[in-house]
C-alpha cells in the first residue's frame, strides 16, 4: 500500500479537483504492476495498473490489487473501476480508505463483494487520508483545502521593525515555497504584503504543474496601480477581494481594473476592519474549481484565517535567527485568547530540515477548523 501511495503522489498538481490515487497489483507477494491517476479526466489508477499488468504479459485474474481509495462504482469521465476489477478477475482488493464522494461512498466495496471479490479495508488508513485531505474537505464542505504558510525567525518574527524580511529563510526553503506555488490553485495575500514586498506570486525555477490564481485581500482597495501583480496579469490571473460597499463608492476605479482583466470580488465584513472570507473560498471552489489554496500572509490575514476557521494546514519555515525586538513584525496577529488553554491548537504532522531552516507541517485540530 505504501508503494501505491508513493505512486499516487506523482499525480499531485495534475489531477485536482479529483483525488490523487495509486494502485499496485501483487502476485505471490511481489508487486508486478502499478499505476496512478495521472491527470484530470484521464485513466484512473486501477485501470492504469491493469493495463500495466497486461502490457507486461501477466494475466491479472486471481491476483491482488492494492488501491489507496475505494474503487469508483459510477460512470464519470471514466468507466467504473470496480467493474473493471471484477471483469479482470481480480481475486482480492485491499483498500486504504472509502471514497466520500456521494456517487461512490460505500458503493464500490459492496459491488466488489457482491461479485465474490475479497475486500480488505483500512490498510495505511492515516497515510491515505492525509493524501486525500483536499478532496475529502471539498466533498464535505464545498470549500478548498487552505494552507497557511509563513517564514519566521526562531522568536516568531516575520520582519524587523523597519519591515525588512529578505531573506529570513534560506534558498532551500524559498525553493520549497515555489514548488508549493506550482501545484496549488490559488495564492492569497493581504494587501499589506503587496505594499511591503511587491511580489509577483508566481512559481519560478521549478516545474509548474498549475498556474495559480493570485488573490489579494484588499478591503479598502489600496493596491498600488503599478504593482507587479497588475504588471504581470498576462502571466497569471488576478482577483482582488474588496469590501462590497466599494462597488458603490469606487465605481470608476473598479471599472478600470476590470478593464485590465482583473476579477473583483465584493465581500461582506465580520468587523470594522475584517472581511468575511467564506464567500471568497466558496467563490474559488465553485467558480475556479480550487481544491488547494496557499496563503502567504501577512500576519493579519493569517490571523483572520485562523479566527474564522478556514485554515486547515500550517507550514511554518523557521530560520536560525533571533530578532529580539518587540516592535518587529509577528507571524500572526488578530487573535485574542485569555489563556493558553484557549489558544488555537495545532497537530504536528511532519518536520523537515532544509539546510539550517526547519519546516514544521501542522494541521489545525478539528475543533478549531
Res 271: pLDDT: 82
Bridge partner residues of 330 (DSSP): 157
| Local confidence band at 298 (pLDDT 50, 70, 90 cut-offs) | confident
Q: What is the pLDDT of residue 287?
A: 96
Mean pLDDT confidence for 39-43: 89
For every residue of 94-117, DSSP letters joined together read: EEEE---STTTTTTHHHHHHHTT-
DSSP conformation letters of 219-264: TT----TT-HHHHTTTTS-EEEEEETTHHHH-HHHHHHHHHTT-EE
Label residue 163 left, alpha or beta by phi (over 0 means left) and psi (-120 to 50 means alpha).
left
**What pLDDT is recorded for position 114?**
94
How far is Cα 276 from Cα 291, in angstroms, rounded to an integer? 20
Q: In the beta sheet, which residues pair with residue 241?
A: 217, 265
Q: What was the pLDDT predicted at 303? A: 93
**Number of other residues whose CB lies within 10 A of the CB of residue 286:** 11
pLDDT at 368 over 60: no
At residue 75, the pLDDT reads 64
> Which three three-digit cell numbers place residue 95?
483498500
Q: How confident is the model at residue 337 (pLDDT cuts 50, 70, 90)?
A: confident
**pLDDT, position 169:** 93
**46 assigned to active site:** yes
Pair 143, 134: CB distance under 8 Å = no
State how far the Cα of 290 lies from the Cα of 306, in Å rounded to an integer: 20
Q: What's the pLDDT tens digit per position in 88-118? A: 999 999 999 998 877 666 688 999 999 999 9
Looking at the DSSP assignment, which residues form a beta bridge with residue 230? Answer: none
What are the tens digits of pLDDT across the range 24-36?
999 999 999 999 9
Contact 64, 93 (CB under 8 A): yes
- Give 157-193 pLDDT, tens digit per residue: 988 888 878 888 999 999 999 999 999 999 999 999 9
Q: Name residues whose C-beta falls within 8 Å of residue 63's C-beta, 6 or more positions apart in sequence.
A: 25, 26, 27, 32, 53, 90, 91, 92
User: In this model, does residue 19 exceed pLDDT 70?
Assistant: yes
Q: Catalytic residue among 12, 38, 46, 133, which?
A: 46
Among residues 119, 193, 207, which one has the least CA distance to residue 150?
A: 193
**Burial of residue 223, with CB atoms counted within 10 A of its CB: 0-12 exposed, 13-18 middle, 19 or more buried:** buried
Contacting residues for 206 by C-beta, under 8 A, at least 6 apart? 175, 178, 179, 182
pLDDT, one tens digit per residue, over 117-152 is 999 999 999 999 999 999 999 988 999 999 999 999
pLDDT score recorded for residue 100: 82
pLDDT band at 218 (very low <50, low <70, confident <90, very high): very high
Q: Is the pLDDT of residue 202 over 80?
A: yes
Residue whose C-alpha is closest to residue 290's, from 361, 212, 206:
212
The proportion of the chain whose per-residue pLDDT surpasses 90, expressed as a percent, equals: 76
| Diameter over CA atoms, the chain | 71
Matching residue, cell 473583483: 264
Residues 6+ apart with CB under 8 A from 326: none
Amino acid at each position: 500500500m505504501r508503494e501505491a501511495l508513493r505512486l499516487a503522489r506523482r499525480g499531485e498538481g495534475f489531477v485536482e479537483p479529483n483525488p490523487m490515487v495509486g494502485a499496485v497489483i501483487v502476485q505471490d507477494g511481489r508487486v508486478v504492476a502499478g499505476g496512478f491517476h495521472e491527470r484530470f479526466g484521464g485513466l484512473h489508477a486501477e485501470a492504469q495498473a491493469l493495463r500495466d499488468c497486461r502490457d507486461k504479459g501477466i494475466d491479472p485474474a486471481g491476483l491482488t490489487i492494492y488501491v489507496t481509495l475505494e474503487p469508483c462504482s459510477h460512470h464519470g469521465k471514466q468507466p467504473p473501476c470496480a467493474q473493471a476489477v471484477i471483469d479482470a478477475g481480480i481475486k482480492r482488493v485491499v483498500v486504504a480508505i472509502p471514497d466520500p464522494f456521494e456517487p461512490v461512498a460505500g458503493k464500490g466495496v459492496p459491488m466488489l463483494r457482491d461479485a465474490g471479490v475479497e475486500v480488505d479495508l483500512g490498510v495505511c488508513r492515516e497515510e491515505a487520508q492525509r493524501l486525500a485531505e483536499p478532496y475529502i474537505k471539498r466533498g464535505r464542505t464545498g470549500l478548498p483545502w487552505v494552507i497557511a504558510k509563513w517564514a519566521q525567525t526562531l522568536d516568531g518574527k516575520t520582519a524587523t521593525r523597519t519591515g525588512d524580511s529578505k531573506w529570513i529563510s534560506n534558498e532551500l526553503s524559498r525553493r520549497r515555497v515555489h514548488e508549493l506555488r506550482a501545484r496549488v490553485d490559488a495564492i492569497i495575500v493581504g494587501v499589506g504584503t503587496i505594499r511591503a514586498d511587491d511580489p509577483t506570486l508566481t512559481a519560478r525555477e521549478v516545474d509548474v504543474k498549475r498556474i495559480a490564481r493570485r488573490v489579494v485581500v484588499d478591503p479598502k482597495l489600496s493596491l498600488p496601480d503599478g504593482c507587479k501583480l497588475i504588471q504581470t496579469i498576462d502571466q497569471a490571473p488576478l482577483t482582488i477581494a474588496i469590501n462590497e460597499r466599494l462597488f458603490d463608492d469606487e465605481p470608476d476605479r473598479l471599472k478600470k481594473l476590470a478593464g485590465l482583466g482583473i476579477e473583483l470580488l465584493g465581500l461582506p465584513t465580520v468587523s470594522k476592519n475584517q472581511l468575511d472570507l467564506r464567500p471568497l473560498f466558496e467563490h474559488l471552489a465553485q467558480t475556479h474549481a480550487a481544491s488547494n489554496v496557499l496563503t502567504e500572509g501577512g500576519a493579519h490575514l493569517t490571523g483572520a484565517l485562523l479566527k474564522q476557521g478556514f485554515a486547515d494546514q500550517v507550514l511554518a519555515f523557521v530560520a536560525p535567527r533571533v530578532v529580539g525586538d518587540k516592535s518587529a513584525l509577528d507571524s500572526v496577529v488578530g487573535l485574542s485568547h485569555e489563556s493558553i488553554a484557549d489558544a488555537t491548537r495545532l497537530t504536528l504532522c511532519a518536520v523537515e530540515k532544509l539546510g539550517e531552516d526547519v519546516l514544521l507541517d501542522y494541521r489545525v485540530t478539528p475543533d478549531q477548523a
